[in-house]
């Protein structure tokens, strides 16, 4: 396994336009540099949005990748998010159904929509400052842009998230940070837990 902190602005994996400026490419280079025959490589287990930062796990074999993904319900992922506005409830659960359109925008749809994906997000307010709030968010499901869509849907878009309605962008990045990652080790079953502190700009 490799657990790393992804900086904001870096793709997790490549696109048609960008192949090398990605975390996946960099970690493959890192693993190959450690073997004489350059056979080392990594396998993508999950992703973080380009403009988000924080913890992400990669596997060093396809078997480990499949083991992690096959028991993804045992993985706990938490995030820090700074939102415009404060949720009416200090803590709560957002649950609905999401789909992605042809323009890569995610939005809520009725449960009976043929492309509907169930999405559940838990949150609690940690602090408030003027018109902003710091939230701890825990994912129960891991849909694309799930946190961004859910918080925007309750009238509290994430700071810097123009795509989903934010009006401010003081950090020149999405104010979303993966701060906690916990899962049973696929070989030993030992619970592995990783934490990443609140980014310095967020503390202000």
Does 51 qualify as catalytic in the annotation? no
**H/E segment holding residue 203:** helix 200-203
E-strand spans in the chain? Answer: 2-6, 43-44, 53-59, 76-84, 91-100, 106-108, 117-129, 132-139, 176-184, 191-195
Q: For residues 30-69, b (16+ Cβ closer than 10 Å) or e, as one string? A: ebeeeeeeeebbbbbbbbbbbbbbbbbbbbeeeebbebbe
Out of 49, 73, 101, 161, the active site residue is 49
User: Which sequence positions are flagged as catalytic?
Assistant: 49
């Amino acid at each position: 396994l490799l657990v790393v902190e992804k900086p904001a602005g870096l793709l997790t994996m490549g696109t048609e336009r960008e192949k090398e400026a990605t975390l996946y490419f960099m970690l493959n280079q890192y693993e190959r540099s450690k073997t004489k025959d350059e056979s080392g490589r990594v396998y993508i287990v999950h992703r973080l949005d380009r403009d988000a930062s924080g913890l992400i796990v990669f596997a060093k074999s396809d078997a480990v990748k499949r083991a992690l993904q096959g028991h993804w319900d045992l993985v706990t992922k938490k995030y820090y998010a700074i939102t415009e506005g404060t949720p009416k409830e200090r803590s709560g659960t957002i649950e609905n159904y999401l789909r992605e359109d042809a323009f890569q925008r995610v939005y809520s749809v009725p449960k009976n929509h043929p492309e509907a994906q169930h999405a559940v997000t838990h949150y609690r307010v940690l602090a408030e400052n003027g018109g902003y709030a710091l939230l701890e968010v825990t994912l129960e499901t891991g849909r694309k842009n799930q946190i961004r869509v859910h918080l925007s849907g309750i009238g509290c878009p994430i700071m810097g998230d123009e795509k989903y309605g934010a009006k401010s962008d003081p950090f020149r990045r999405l104010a979303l940070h993966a701060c906690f990652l916990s899962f049973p080790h696929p070989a030993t079953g030992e619970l592995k837990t990783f934490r990443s502190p609140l980014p310095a700009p967020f503390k202000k």
